[in-house]
Structure 1
């Protein structure tokens, strides 16, 4: 299997894929310098790219290849992987459910997508049926819909066939190389389906004839499959074809440090390399600078140094990003950092609104209530104490989760369902074991991770 990798996890993942006897192709110059391996230019079967928020990777490509590619990524118990119903390149008959300022929200059946008005020739309104293709999938933990387009494309590495176009186009700034490639395309002896034009990416100008032929053959096969599916009559809210699959992989704290070890086996790597890089673009550049200077002695992750430089500090506001094992992210609100200890503990304060009750505590939520949460970097749980306006304690809720990470703008983890609560009368109860069992049965939580969660909950019961 040929894998193309991009983003902050590239060195570590290149080592993992090579160790798993896969081929890494289209590698950057730094990666070629770090590895004593044949990193070719053949078309890739799958692409692994870091997400925009740096929390994980998206894996897109041939459906069988995507399944095989996820195995080397899933190395720790706090790694999660989700297959989504709207992968990149999937074609849908969609129904417009509402229009926004810049585009339309479309019902895809098991998902929603966003169609920018500039990506379709026709005027669309709520109730219209449209045939669209996913051009940009979206991770389940981000608040964003997949992006759709009215054109249909068949992609295969550096070759793309576009329905409704004709001829050969080369997307490159090197006009001379582009003209040469366009002229050579006929020599490949492959004819795309009628009504499909060829678009070569800039990378194609450096590929050999064998790689170009393989890419165009694959693109042609996918175009023929799509063409057959497009012959069907429009029937809204259904998927017509999915020539590629997309799986999103979220890395937890343990996963990032495991990736550090993989990277360290190849090139000097500071403790917490991926943990720091995942925090912000500024932090990522600082890591590059530190490692270029060679200042990365020792084995311990220096939480104080990282937070002193990038935050959060006392007085800052952070989100509580409460991940769910099914891939969703629930923002519990924004909290003020009131204190930060050297051991990695942040004290967070939230003012609560009136209405409803506190989950599992059975206590009403009133105006003036305050929630005080203490989160420690790397810990598998965190407590929240709820107090009324008079200062009286209403209860304590201890959340069991994957190891907490305290980034400059957010505290992040994945909730593991089982929790321990202490009511205002001092009664200690363990709750939601059944939800954890259901998550295991659904395949969202591994048995090893579930056993860790249960063990943590048992310890907390005794401590409270």
Structure 2
């Protein structure tokens, strides 16, 4: 049986392309670099369909995957037995099934609209009702969508999901819905014919524009011709237009038939988000290294947001210095990702020993740029509900190295007065601080809480995916369950019920659950 086509873009594209090719999936519309690396065609014969589309998440910590609904249903029937990005094949993956699928159309209830900040919150589905008849807010999902415009004097509206939800992270919404296909997008609310900017052949552009105008003699809506349309025949385009028109009519009929229905009107896709912890990123390094020179921690460095580049304004165009002069004066700041790409390009054609030396020197400089005593380091605490919390940063107290790599980082963090320490029922007082010990690659870290008189008030063992380190700080995914230790050394496990919940929701696998619980038990018994 022919497997569905997979479209891949983003920082993980080389590793993912190899994984899917090895699993027998055809790759459709690869970038020129991927075509060259894998010696694959631009598309399978007689196919334009992006059955599965994989792109980076906005935070680069994983991928957003959109399936055609029929493809998703077929994979689900087969328990995803040969789908590479599934927990049965890699139990360390963290998966969020979207409640509101990308490109789906909803009628939503406007619950808040802010003119000053130009945004609105839209209720897309009713909240769950508890046993007492009250709305129950979920800790791991949402019913709200974000619309980036103020909506005056309206109670409800029709919206299309432009970016799916992920845990409690709300989906993004747009208005004036479209009906997307592989070759054409129907735009019901205008009569324009738009050609993809990726189509640069003048004759093709004119042919598609004329075809669009011909279709509009009988179809009273606009079109966007996608890049793949330049490869298709007129017959193939017209057949897809007819199919999309059926979906449009179904959507319009549902809107008319159920004028007060809040919820989904039309959906042809299924969306998931897959998060890659440190060990997954490192395994992708190994896969990529089979194809081309790849630095240690390649995907960890690439997965972090770019720093702001230097900006400067000049009175006249003639005052603007040359690119070379800007570099000499240190006025152009290259991101760590830029320098990584440049360094890896130097490694082509060199022997293993030379590459190891380049790698060693690059990483030494990379870590030296942000790992210095008393320098502030961020702590990015990603929750299993989808949120990433930036904890109070710490001042670097000490660094231990192993084989030339940072191994243990000790941070001193000032704590804000008020409230209680989690699980300890001990107040956080003025002058309290924490000493955190973060071992890179470890499944937990320990924070010791001190009073301003340097007296120990307790310890907290945070259970998490293996700790990773980058120029953005320390990052991990919190696995909910933790261990606390009071002032007299008594330990107990807390928050296991939240770990249980994520297992029941299939956010984590049974294997990852067992690993987290096993680490907690070992800490409780003093074995680690």
Relative to 1, partners in 2 of residues 1:432 and 1:90: Cα closer, same or farther, differing over 3 Å? same
The answer to whether residue 20 in structure 2 is matched with residue 17 in structure 1 is yes
Relative to 1, partners in 2 of residues 1:211 and 1:195: Cα closer, same or farther, differing over 3 Å? closer
**CA distance in 2: counterparts of 1:88 and 1:153, whole angstroms:** 12
Relative to 1, partners in 2 of residues 1:366 and 1:377: Cα closer, same or farther, differing over 3 Å? same
Relative to 1, partners in 2 of residues 1:426 and 1:81: Cα closer, same or farther, differing over 3 Å? same
TM norm structure 1: 0.87
Q: Is the 8 A contact 1:23 1:39 kept in 2?
A: no
CA positional deviation for 1:330? 3.5
Three-state SS of the structure 2 residue aligned to 1:378 is coil
- State which of 105, 115, 118 in structure 1 corresponds to 2:121: 105
Show the counterpart of 1:86: 100
Bigger drift between 248-257 and 407-416 goes to 407-416
Three-state SS of the structure 2 residue aligned to 1:358 is coil
- State which of 52, 57, 62 in structure 1 corresponds to 2:58: 52
Show the counterpart of 1:269: 294
* CA deviation vs aligned residue, 1:144-166 (integer Å, no higher than 9, x gap): x4332220101123421111233
Relative to 1, partners in 2 of residues 1:214 and 1:323: Cα closer, same or farther, differing over 3 Å? farther
1:137-176 mapped onto 2 (5 Å cutoff): 137-140=164-167, 145-166=170-191, 168-172=193-197, 174=200, 176=203
Show the counterpart of 2:425: 362
Three-state SS of the structure 2 residue aligned to 1:341 is strand
The answer to whether residue 488 in structure 2 is matched with residue 429 in structure 1 is no
Show the counterpart of 1:115: 147
Show the counterpart of 1:76: 90
Aligned length: 455
Relative to 1, partners in 2 of residues 1:459 and 1:298: Cα closer, same or farther, differing over 3 Å? farther
* CA deviation vs aligned residue, 1:366-392 (integer Å, no higher than 9, x gap): 121112212122111100111111110
Relative to 1, partners in 2 of residues 1:266 and 1:211: Cα closer, same or farther, differing over 3 Å? farther
**CA distance in 2: counterparts of 1:195 and 1:7, whole angstroms:** 37
Q: Is the 8 A contact 1:339 1:346 kept in 2?
A: yes
Show the counterpart of 1:373: 436
Q: Is the 8 A contact 2:102 2:162 kept in 1?
A: yes
* CA deviation vs aligned residue, 1:153-201 (integer Å, no higher than 9, x gap): 01123421111233633233745432112234589xx899954322113
Show the counterpart of 1:136: 163
Three-state SS of the structure 2 residue aligned to 1:60 is strand
Three-state SS of the structure 2 residue aligned to 1:391 is coil
**CA distance in 1: counterparts of 2:101 and 2:411, whole angstroms:** 37
CA positional deviation for 1:242? 2.1
**CA distance in 2: counterparts of 1:262 and 1:228, whole angstroms:** 49
Q: Is the 8 A contact 1:226 1:241 kept in 2?
A: yes
Show the counterpart of 1:286: 339
Three-state SS of the structure 1 residue aligned to 2:517 is helix
Q: Is the 8 A contact 2:92 2:509 kept in 1?
A: no
Q: Is the 8 A contact 2:196 2:224 kept in 1?
A: yes
5+ residue gaps, structure 1, are: none
TM norm structure 2: 0.77
Three-state SS of the structure 2 residue aligned to 1:357 is coil
Relative to 1, partners in 2 of residues 1:432 and 1:164: Cα closer, same or farther, differing over 3 Å? closer
Q: Is the 8 A contact 1:5 1:14 kept in 2?
A: yes
Relative to 1, partners in 2 of residues 1:93 and 1:316: Cα closer, same or farther, differing over 3 Å? farther
Relative to 1, partners in 2 of residues 1:426 and 1:365: Cα closer, same or farther, differing over 3 Å? same
**CA distance in 1: counterparts of 2:9 and 2:427, whole angstroms:** 49
Show the counterpart of 1:177: 204
The answer to whether residue 447 in structure 2 is matched with residue 444 in structure 1 is no
* CA deviation vs aligned residue, 1:215-235 (integer Å, no higher than 9, x gap): 545534433442332223333
**CA distance in 1: counterparts of 2:494 and 2:447, whole angstroms:** 15
Bigger drift between 418-427 and 131-140 goes to 131-140
Relative to 1, partners in 2 of residues 1:193 and 1:285: Cα closer, same or farther, differing over 3 Å? farther
Three-state SS of the structure 2 residue aligned to 1:334 is strand
**CA distance in 2: counterparts of 1:177 and 1:124, whole angstroms:** 43
- State which of 152, 156, 159 in structure 2 corresponds to 1:124: 152
RMSD after superposition: 3.1
Q: Is the 8 A contact 1:43 1:211 kept in 2?
A: no
